């Protein structure tokens, strides 16, 4: 019984929405027709003077009505700007790494398997990288060697002349740059030749270059990492800022040899091109299966190898922000609709107060279309001015939030031109609808009864 009732309610609600939409479309068509017939009134100085005089008769009522409309459009625009800022902030955070990237890192087992106890420490090898890169669906792939057994390098001091400091050391294959947002501004990144020939090449971040070389050209210069000399072959920047630029990239084969790393790798990272979440998960499962067979751990053990799947995370965040944006639009439109209804009520009161005036106009020959357009013109003017003030305030609030830079989660919460144009068109349509129904009542006024009314 409950399911059919819900279905009937859903059907009834759907039919009601369709009915309201049809009703609004008919009203807009009638407004368009009246506007075409009375187009000369748009350019009549006397008519605009009359509009201003009429609105100015009730200053307090006009001001309160404009405030309600302004507040509605302000809330809508400000919330849209905030939602846009949240979306930009999310994209910037993801831009630090490839949005189609996957990282699989070796860890400790949490499930007993194949006769091995819990807590066994895993470590990949170069052969795992060679096998994984042949997996169908993998676009670019790199492995990372943990120097000194630590992901961000041991506390190895980097020197150049009298200057020395500790920086993050990443021993990687040449395709590692495909999984970052780095831009090489001097020289080049690591190449396959660097890896194959175990060259002592280094690519440093701009922060490292500024510290060690005082802003001078670093390409071709030599630096000492521990007691091993490396030649700088490139300098990169990153939109993540100085912290992301405190890195030094070394060929994985050279680091394994120079720092007694053997064949060990701690991380496998790769991109999957345009693959979707399901296809990406298939690639991940296949590579995890290869690793599980080689190192005898349970493939379902999430702690044995940890996976960071940017595609899955990006899709999850995108859906979440889509829901937030939809909620923001509903709240903003609801607030604006309340203001428009207020305008309609005010225009209804104004029509009631001007019953005798409207009767005189009709007695002197005014057509119903001219009466309707007069009321619509006043409503559109009132709504338009108030809405544009709210629009300007909303844009200013969004720009202020962006200028203050309160958090990394909100970036550039601005409103683009399409939103501004859409809001303006919406205001005109809303104002026309707000004035149409009172105007239709005014057009039906009987001149004789109107003159007797007062």
Quick check: 109 and 303 in contact, CB under 8 A?
Answer: yes
Could you report the per-residue pLDDT of 202-242, keeping only the tens digit for each? 999 999 999 999 878 999 999 999 889 999 999 999 987 88
10 assigned to some structural domain: no
Distance between CA atoms of 31 and 381, rounded to whole angstroms? 15
Residue-wise pLDDT tens digits, 145-192: 998 766 655 668 999 988 999 999 999 999 999 888 899 999 999 999
Confidence of residue 200 (pLDDT cuts 50, 70, 90): very high
Average confidence (pLDDT) over 359-377: 80
Are 111 and 199 found together in one domain? yes
Among candidate residues 275, 310, 345, the one where a domain is terminated: 310
> Among positive and negative, which fits the CA dihedral 203, 207, 210, 213?
negative
Domains in the chain: how many in total? 2
Decide if 151 is inside a domain.
yes
Decide if pLDDT at 349 tops 60: yes
Q: Tell whether 181 and 302 lie within a shared domain.
A: yes
The residue segments making up the domain with residue 444 are 37-94+316-453
Residue among 75, 180, 84, 78 at smallest CA distance from 411: 84
Q: Is the residue at 3 inside a domain?
A: no
Question: To which residue do tokens 């790769």 refer?
Answer: 270
Last residue of a domain, one of 246, 278, 310: 310
350 with 441, same domain?
yes
Q: Is residue 389 a part of any domain in this protein?
A: yes
**Which residues pair with residue 437 across a beta bridge?**
none
HSE-CB for 101 with a 13 A CA cutoff: 21
Q: Closest by alpha carbon to 197, among 248, 133, 254, 145?
A: 254
For residues 380 and 322, membership in a common domain is answered with yes
Sign of the CA dihedral 362, 365, 370, 375? negative
- Where does the pLDDT of residue 432 fall: very low under 50, low under 70, confident under 90, or very high at 90 and above? confident
């Amino acid at each position: 019984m409950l399911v059919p009732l819900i279905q009937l309610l859903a059907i009834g609600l759907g039919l009601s929405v369709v009915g309201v939409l049809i009703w609004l479309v008919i009203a807009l068509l009638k407004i368009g027709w009246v506007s075409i017939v009375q187009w000369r009134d748009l350019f009549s100085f006397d008519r605009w003077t009359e509009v201003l005089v009429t609105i100015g008769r009730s200053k307090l009522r006009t001001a309160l009505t404009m405030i309600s409309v302004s507040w509605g459009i302000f809330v809508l625009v400000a919330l849209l700007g905030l939602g846009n800022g949240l979306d930009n902030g999310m994209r910037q955070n993801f831009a630090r790494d490839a949005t189609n990237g996957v990282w699989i890192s070796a860890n400790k087992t949490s499930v007993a398997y194949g006769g091995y106890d819990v807590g066994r420490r895993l470590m990949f090898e170069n052969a795992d990288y060679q096998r994984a890169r042949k997996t169908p669906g993998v676009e670019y792939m790199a492995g990372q060697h943990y120097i000194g057994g630590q992901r961000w390098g041991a506390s190895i001091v980097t020197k150049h002349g009298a200057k020395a400091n500790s920086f993050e050391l990443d021993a990687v294959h040449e395709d590692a740059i495909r999984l970052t947002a780095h831009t090489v501004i001097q020289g080049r990144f690591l190449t396959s030749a660097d890896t194959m020939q175990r060259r002592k090449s280094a690519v440093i971040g701009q922060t490292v270059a500024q510290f060690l070389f005082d802003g001078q050209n670093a390409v071709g210069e030599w630096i000492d990492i521990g007691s091993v000399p490396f030649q700088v072959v490139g300098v990169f920047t990153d939109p993540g800022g100085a912290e992301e630029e405190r890195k030094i990239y070394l060929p994985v084969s050279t680091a394994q040899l120079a720092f007694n790393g053997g064949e060990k790798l701690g991380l496998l990272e790769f991109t999957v091109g345009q693959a979707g979440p399901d296809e990406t998960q298939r690639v991940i499962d296949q590579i995890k299966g290869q690793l599980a067979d080689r190192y005898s751990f349970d493939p379902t053990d999430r702690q044995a190898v940890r996976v960071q799947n940017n595609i899955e995370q990006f899709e999850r965040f995108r859906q979440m922000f889509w829901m937030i944006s939809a909620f923001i639009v509903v709240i903003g439109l609801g607030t604006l609709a309340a203001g428009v209804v207020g305008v309609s009520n005010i225009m209804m009161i104004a029509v009631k107060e001007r019953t005798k005036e409207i009767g005189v106009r009709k007695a002197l020959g005014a057509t119903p279309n001219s009466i309707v357009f007069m009321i619509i013109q006043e409503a559109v003017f009132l709504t338009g001015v108030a809405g544009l003030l709210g629009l300007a305030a909303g844009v200013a609030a969004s720009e202020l939030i962006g200028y203050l830079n309160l958090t990394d989660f909100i970036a550039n919460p601005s409103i683009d031109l399409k939103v501004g144009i859409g809001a303006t068109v919406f205001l005109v349509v809303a104002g026309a609808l707000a004035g149409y129904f009172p105007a239709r009542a005014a057009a039906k006024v009987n001149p004789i009864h109107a003159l007797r009314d007062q």
